[in-house]
Amino acid sequence: MTLEWRNASKVYGKKKAVDDFCLEVPRGELLILVGPSGCGKTTSLRMINRLVEPSSGKILVDGKDVSEIPVTELRRHIGYVIQQVGLFPHMNVAENVGAVPRLLKWDKDRIQARVRELLDLVGLPADDYLEAWPAHLSGGEAQRVGVARALAADPPILLMDEPFGAVDPLTREVLQREFLRIRSTLKKTVVFVTHDLDEAIRLGDCIAVMNEGRLVAAAAPGELLLNANPFIRDFTGEDRALRRLARLSVGDTIGQATPIAPGGFYDGTGAPTGSIRTDASLKEALSLMLEAGESSLNAVSPSGRHMGRLTMEDLLENAAGIGVS
């Protein structure tokens, strides 16, 4: 489904939490909302499922004003994941994940099959977690269950409000990686709020930067990091070139590199010495070059095939945005 904020505003007293917000999200795109605390990003997200009603303007889903859709019907077609997870403590994992399908009166066998499918999808083996209780889950496990529950009825839209913000950095990285894998499988329209710019750059198709309730800019991560707007440059920080390298993979760039003959040793767990896998980031490639004192690396596919050669010059050009959209 497509989403659109059309001149949407939200006023609390004399304060405009969201001010004339206009933005479209194409079907299947992952939009990240970022900005300083209090900029209106969470309010903008909550307008979509009517947890917040706009003071003026409209929110459209597939061209239809959400204010014309009964709240219960609307929310059953929109998955919602929050930082605090909000699992029902009196229900086990299977019951939590199956909550919305039960409300939709799915039959028991269908619910059980869907719960197992989703637990496996989020990396929690069903046989180990079906009967587990929320109080016994780690933060990362609980967050995965929250994602599974939001996906249970196969909603076309997924809203995520700081979903990984309450876990430690290592778990957060794992969850981000798993979410990218899940999203590549499901192709849903996603609106994702975060305060973490690196997370936004890693996950988003488009990043919308807000300030004082207004949209400052919306662009693909690589384009945003090249934006000359003073607020954007200040917000993205001095290390935006490294952030750009973190977004791009070796495989994104290797077409520009010099092809070499296939072959070479590969042990199945990583690239051989002097090489880097094509699914690694350019930031990882830069780190490896600096650690090894090398000015180039062989690029190796996950299956072990040599795909080309990545040079320091390639990295510098990508960091500067030369020839890369």
Q: Which CATH number goes with the domain that contains 126?
A: 3.40.50.300
List C-alpha distances in Å: 55 to 9, 70, 72, 114, 191: 6, 18, 21, 38, 21
**Could you say which of 188, 207, 239 is where a domain stops?**
239
Q: Give the domain extent around 207.
A: 3-239
Inside any domain, residue 325: no
Indicate if 210 and 286 belong to the same structural domain: no
Token code pair at residue 152: 């249970």
Beta strand pairing call for 296-300 and 275-277 = parallel
pLDDT tens-place string over residues 228-242: 899 998 998 878 788
User: What does the DSSP assignment read for 85-119?
Assistant: ----TTS-HHHHHTHHHHHTT--HHHHHHHHHHHH
Domains: count for the chain: 2
Give the C-alpha separation, 133 to 145, whole Å: 11
Give the C-alpha separation, 118 to 97, whole Å: 8
Indicate if 174 and 302 belong to the same structural domain: no
**Could you say which of 239, 272, 298 is where a domain stops?**
239
pLDDT tens-place string over residues 248-302: 888 888 754 444 444 333 343 345 668 888 888 888 899 999 988 888 999 988 8
What number is the average pLDDT over the span 137-144? 89
Token code pair at residue 125: 């083996």
Indicate if 313 and 191 belong to the same structural domain: no
Give residue 307's pLDDT.
Answer: 87
Give the C-alpha separation, 57 to 5, whole Å: 8
Per-residue DSSP letter, 281: B
**Could you say which of 239, 261, 278 is where a domain stops?**
239
Q: What is the reported pTM?
A: 0.79
- Cβ atoms < 10 Å from Cβ of 324: 17
pLDDT tens-place string over residues 53-111: 999 999 999 999 999 999 988 998 899 988 777 889 999 999 999 998 998 899 999 99
Indicate if 163 and 261 belong to the same structural domain: no
Indicate if 306 and 191 belong to the same structural domain: no
Indicate if 59 and 187 belong to the same structural domain: yes
Beta bridge partners of 33: 193, 208
